[in-house]
Structure 1
Amino acid sequence: MRAISTIVAVAALASVPLWLRDPYLLNALITTGIFIIGAMSLNLLLGFTGQLSLGHIAFFGIGAYVSALTSLGFDVGLPGDFRLVHTPWPPIAGFVLAVVVAGLCGYFVGLLSFRVRGAYFVIVTISFAEVVRLVALNWVELTQGPLALTSIPSIALPLPGFGEFTLRTKMHNYYLVLVVALIAYLLIARLVHSHFGRAMRGLMENETLAISVGIDVTRTLTIAAVISAAIAGAAGSLYAHYIRIIDPEVFAFINTVTMVIMVISGGKGSLAGPVVGGLIFGLLPVVLRPVMAPEAQWIAYGGVLIAILFLLPRGIVPSLTQRLGRRLGRTSARAPVALTETAAKEPA
């Protein structure tokens, strides 16, 4: 049943560019899809290990800058009158490097921060994001600082024997984001339903019991952080090559808050939760913008979030799934009773 639902949902999303002709709405769907990928990566930590990272946007921004600099090239000075010169590489190489470098940063942060818990972990992740933002802001020779990196090339896919296919249009980028989101979804689903995924959930539910059965806490959480950061880096790379301009504002704290809202409202710990929450809160500002003033938009945005959390405290997907399961359970429980009464009325 879940497989059929997933196939139907993917088919419906794949059909959108075929009937949606408004470039503004298509642009909103593309940027929302990119942040949904980031929210899925955050859900791997928050939903399946119970670790709240409020600096997750750092990996998104690192992926964006690494991919942009790889495809643009750079020439920066180093101590001792040395210079580091990099000639531009194809954007697809930047995408791969963004995933790798973000994953390595996730390993570094995880190795340090998972030795602490609770508020200490949150502070470490926030501090890391702020340090990375300050580096991007002040290392002007490399990142252009507040002037931003501009003219970032679009991603081009190599086609053996035919050269390259450059993804310039919104339709091309929509399908690219959809494919990457589907790969991330399947990867996380495979991971969650594996032995490693059971170890993650065990740590979240009862860390003491998990340690007693031989689960290595730091190793498990660090691997989860690496995979989560790598996926966030992929999302950042897509963002850089689609928007084609990157500045330190990509590390803004509001972007992490947006991902957290997508995860919590959709249902943390569920695979579809970040997707549903992301579509609602990614597209809600687009729906409200023509009919409300900016201040009223934020009030409505907060009101919708409060209503969801009040009426569906576990998130949209888990709460609706639970209610549907109860209803089906009551229906199936009444069915045998009805059959028994019918059989009793029939003559022998």
Structure 2
Amino acid sequence: MKSRVSLPSWLALSVTALILLVLPRLIGTDYYLHIAIISLVFVILATSLDILVGYSGLLSLCHTAFFAFGAYAAALLFLHFQMSLWLTMFAGGVFAASIAWLLGLLVLSVRGHRFIITTVIFAEIGRLIAYNWTDLTQGQIGLSGIRPPVFDLPGLPRIDFSSREAYYYLALVVTTTCVTIIWRITHSPIGWRMLALRENEALAEASGVDTRRIATTAFVSSAFFAGLAGAVYAHYTGFVSPDLFYFTYTTTMLIMVFLGGKGTIIGPVMGAVLFTILPEALRVTANYRLMTFSAILLVLVVFAPEGLVGLFARIRRRFAGQGSVQDA
């Protein structure tokens, strides 16, 4: 079965692509470009977490650990071996995926609160390792001096990604590639088996689905993209520290997935962009920033429990229904 994209969807994608391509010219300042780059990193994180939470029904709270492991792997490879982002991205993803595979041997045999608690413990163990293994990670001081890549091939113009505009386009290409691959995974037979695992694991097993293998695939692939995002982040900020393991990053990713619309691709993308930009936009409210942000989240939880994607679908159905009544 092939997934077909409707004409309105193609038009929306085309307009979005055009806006993203000219965005640096529209927003201008380095500050807004910084927000745009961080938004793209969170798009990778949110969509990759959705492989687990939205498609497979596995509520993992250690996604930030895979992000941090990828960032540390990229930083160490650059600082000790001068590897470029092109290699450290892949290495960071593979390193995070390898850890996820090993962790999966232990935790994917359990479900529910035991699985959730185990992932929380793992994330904290990762933070403690980064904090205490000072010979390798420099502890709380962190690792600095990670530089953006330089594209320099014979016969082609030299591109230095140290400027924010150049790095924005780099992050845009990487993010678009990751989201496209994730879309292909979730709309493939593997993705359908993930949905079967989410809906009813016992029934899926009775139907011949190897649920342990599918859960492992979801866990490892999700970690790979998180580690890759960590490498992109490390080369952009030039600094990594144990703070990347903090639970606040995980809660942020979960907010992006659930309030964007889990089990979709566009939902986590919308959630990542909105909930990266919104806290910055609310800076104008000064002391009321946190309260205003919390109120917005509460309204969305109450009136859009299925996420922004579900809310927009409901609004579209309502208008379509009104149009049908008027035509009648």
Query: What TM-score do you get using the length of structure 2 for normalisation?
Result: 0.93
Deviation track 1:204-230 (CA, whole Å, cap 9, x = no partner) reads: 112221111100111001101111101
| Aligned position for 1:277 | 271
Partner Cα separation in structure 2 for residue 17 and residue 163 of structure 1? 20
| Aligned position for 2:145 | 151
1:76-95 mapped onto 2 (5 Å cutoff): 87-95=81-89
Partner Cα separation in structure 2 for residue 38 and residue 291 of structure 1? 28
Deviation track 1:10-49 (CA, whole Å, cap 9, x = no partner) reads: 2212211012112111111111221221111111110101
Question: Following TM superposition, by how much is the alpha carbon of 1:274 offset from its aligned partner in structure 2, in angstroms?
Answer: 1.1
Instruction: Give the conservation status (yes or no) of the 8 Å contact 1:36–1:259.
Output: no
SS of residue matched to 2:151: strand
Is it true that 1:221 corresponds to 2:228 in the alignment? no
SS of residue matched to 2:55: coil
Partner Cα separation in structure 1 for residue 68 and residue 318 of structure 2? 42
Question: Following TM superposition, by how much is the alpha carbon of 1:160 offset from its aligned partner in structure 2, in angstroms?
Answer: 4.4
Is it true that 1:317 corresponds to 2:309 in the alignment? yes
Instruction: Give the conservation status (yes or no) of the 8 Å contact 2:85–2:232.
Output: no
| Aligned position for 1:24 | 31
Partner Cα separation in structure 2 for residue 252 and residue 97 of structure 1? 22
| Aligned position for 1:305 | 297
Deviation track 1:248-269 (CA, whole Å, cap 9, x = no partner) reads: 1011110111100111111111
Which letter does structure 2 place at the counterpart of 1:309? V
Q: Note the residue ranges of structure 1 that are not aligned, 5 or more in a row.
A: 74-86, 338-348
Is it true that 1:51 corresponds to 2:43 in the alignment? no
| Residue of 140, 143, 167 corresponding to 1:173 | 167
The 3 A distance-change label for structure 1 pair 111 and 307 is: same
Deviation track 1:270-292 (CA, whole Å, cap 9, x = no partner) reads: 11111111122111121111331
| Residue of 111, 116, 119 corresponding to 2:105 | 111
Q: Once structures 1 and 2 are overlaid, which stretch shifts more, 231-240 or 17-26?
A: 17-26
Q: Once structures 1 and 2 are overlaid, which stretch shifts more, 6-15 or 17-26?
A: 6-15
Question: Following TM superposition, by how much is the alpha carbon of 1:171 offset from its aligned partner in structure 2, in angstroms?
Answer: 0.6
| Aligned position for 2:5 | none
| Aligned position for 2:13 | 6
Deviation track 1:161-196 (CA, whole Å, cap 9, x = no partner) reads: 448633111111111111111112111111111111
Partner Cα separation in structure 2 for residue 277 and residue 111 of structure 1? 31
| Aligned position for 2:121 | 127
Question: Following TM superposition, by how much is the alpha carbon of 1:330 offset from its aligned partner in structure 2, in angstroms?
Answer: 5.0
The 3 A distance-change label for structure 1 pair 163 and 323 is: closer
Partner Cα separation in structure 2 for residue 285 and residue 312 of structure 1? 19
Which letter does structure 2 place at the counterpart of 1:63? G
> Share of identical aligned residues, percent?
37
Partner Cα separation in structure 2 for residue 181 and residue 325 of structure 1? 31
Instruction: Give the conservation status (yes or no) of the 8 Å contact 2:85–2:231.
Output: no
Query: What TM-score do you get using the length of structure 1 for normalisation?
Result: 0.88
| Aligned position for 2:4 | none
Equivalenced residue count is 321
SS of residue matched to 2:263: coil
SS of residue matched to 1:300: helix
Which letter does structure 2 place at the counterpart of 1:297? R
Question: Following TM superposition, by how much is the alpha carbon of 1:91 offset from its aligned partner in structure 2, in angstroms?
Answer: 3.2
Supply the RMSD in Å over aligned alpha carbons. 1.6
Partner Cα separation in structure 1 for residue 158 and residue 126 of structure 2? 33
Which letter does structure 1 place at the counterpart of 2:35? A
Q: Once structures 1 and 2 are overlaid, which stretch shifts more, 318-327 or 43-52?
A: 318-327
Q: Once structures 1 and 2 are overlaid, which stretch shifts more, 259-268 or 157-166?
A: 157-166
Instruction: Give the conservation status (yes or no) of the 8 Å contact 1:70–1:91.
Output: no
The 3 A distance-change label for structure 1 pair 189 and 90 is: closer
Partner Cα separation in structure 2 for residue 184 and residue 332 of structure 1? 39
| Aligned position for 2:245 | 251
Instruction: Give the conservation status (yes or no) of the 8 Å contact 1:115–1:218.
Output: yes
Q: Note the residue ranges of structure 2 that are not aligned, 5 or more in a row.
A: 1-7
Which letter does structure 2 place at the counterpart of 1:305? L
Q: Once structures 1 and 2 are overlaid, which stretch shifts more, 13-22 or 50-59?
A: 13-22
Name whichever structure is richer in helix by fraction. Answer: 2
SS of residue matched to 2:28: coil
